[in-house]
A and B are shown apart, each in its own frame.
Chain A
């Protein structure tokens, strides 16, 4: 048996003989087509009312492309602007100890950040102030 299936005229002739030819001439094709068309009326009407996915896609394509382009540009600008600005911690719990320490050493951060990171928010802040010389 090969990979390709070839037709065999001898077998086709045998099949023609063993099976009767479909009675195409007995079919009233016009009537059959009319029956099918009549049955299809309601379904075709429904299809006309329900847009197909590519029609929806096509109707959205024209406004969607410039909108997507504008959104992309806005996103790029937003990312770029956020990269320029340094994040500022508003809560001592958000401060990274190492950056706070480095910040304190390079005088970019107040010492209180270092204290808070290391010891938490003490109610006895004055003790801390006594222990550390706070700028």
Chain B
């Protein structure tokens, strides 16, 4: 069943259609929720809360529109509000162990250091810039969908992506023997 038809059925109160909509979108919603909240339990609660909020407003949703950006925007807004309330930082939860297991102790140390620097660079990015990069590069949303999720223009999405990538490239350049680029 295509998505507009599914949404129409949910708008009519069809339980099976709602279950299907949840199955289709819960994984992506969880990924975004987890990046905001940093804890699995919190992310699960946020996904549940977002689906309920979406369902409560489903009668105002136009079935022809893509559902995912609308849902993810709810996840994003509620997540950021919840996180502000709980004073959590998503990056606090990032583990230190990113070793592949095949490295020598020296390579392993270098890898850890690079990961630390990348993580610090990501943490230093403005929240919106970080979200643009994650939604676009990791979650596979289009620029237009990212714009809808974050409630900004496509031009602003491009600008944030450009700035965020430039910041990460500076870290990489510094790690691979071009320290003056990093110092800029």
> Which residues on A are within 8 Å of B, measured CB to CB?
1, 3-5, 7-8, 11-12, 14-20, 22-24, 26-27, 29, 32-33, 35-37, 39-41, 43-52, 54-55
A-B Cβ contacts below 8 A, count: 124
A42 CB to closest chain B CB, in angstroms? 10
Q: Which of B13-60 contact A (CB under 8 A)?
A: 13-15, 18-19, 22-23, 26-27, 30-31, 34-35, 40, 43-44, 47-48, 51-52, 55-56, 58-59
> Which residues on B are within 8 Å of A, measured CB to CB?
8, 10-15, 18-19, 22-23, 26-27, 30-31, 34-35, 40, 43-44, 47-48, 51-52, 55-56, 58-59, 93-95, 98, 114-115, 118-119, 121-122, 133-134, 136-138, 143, 154, 157-159, 161-162, 165, 168-169, 172
Also in contact, A46 and B13, with CB within 8 A (given A5-B158, A36-B51): yes
A119 CB to closest chain B CB, in angstroms? 67
Nearest chain B residue, comparing its CB with the CB of A24: B27
Nearest chain B residue, comparing its CB with the CB of A20: B94
Nearest chain A residue, comparing its CB with the CB of B52: A39
Report which residue of A14, A37, A50 has the largest number of chain B beta carbons within 10 angstroms of its beta carbon: A14
Q: Give Cα A15–Cα B157 distance, bound, in whole angstroms.
A: 17
Residue in contact with B18 in the complex, picked from A3, A19, A37, CB distance below 8 Å: A37
B168 CB to closest chain A CB, in angstroms? 5
Cβ contacts under 8 Å, A50 to chain B: 59
Pair B35/A40 contact, Cβ less than 8 Å: no
Cβ contacts under 8 Å, A18 to chain B: 94, 115, 118-119, 121-122, 168
Nearest chain B residue, comparing its CB with the CB of A48: B13
Pair B51/A8 contact, Cβ less than 8 Å: no
Pair B52/A19 contact, Cβ less than 8 Å: no
Pair B137/A35 contact, Cβ less than 8 Å: no
Pair A52/B59 contact, Cβ less than 8 Å: yes
Q: Give Cα A28–Cα B58 distance, bound, in whole angstroms.
A: 26
Pair B55/A19 contact, Cβ less than 8 Å: no
Pair A55/B134 contact, Cβ less than 8 Å: no
Residue in contact with A16 in the complex, picked from B14, B114, B138, CB distance below 8 Å: B138
Pair B13/A44 contact, Cβ less than 8 Å: yes
Pair B11/A33 contact, Cβ less than 8 Å: no
Nearest chain A residue, comparing its CB with the CB of B133: A15
Cβ contacts under 8 Å, B40 to chain A: 23, 26-27
Q: Give Cα A119–Cα B75 distance, bound, in whole angstroms.
A: 81
Also in contact, A48 and B26, with CB within 8 A (given A7-B137, A14-B172): no
A103 CB to closest chain B CB, in angstroms? 61
Q: Could you pull out 5 A-B pairs where Cβ atoms are within 8 angstroms?
A: A1-B158, A17-B115, A47-B10, A54-B8, A55-B12
Cβ contacts under 8 Å, B169 to chain A: 11
Cβ contacts under 8 Å, A5 to chain B: 136, 143, 154, 157-158, 161
Known: A1-B159, A47-B59. 8 other contacts (CB 8 A): A5-B157, A16-B138, A18-B122, A19-B134, A20-B94, A39-B48, A40-B51, A44-B15
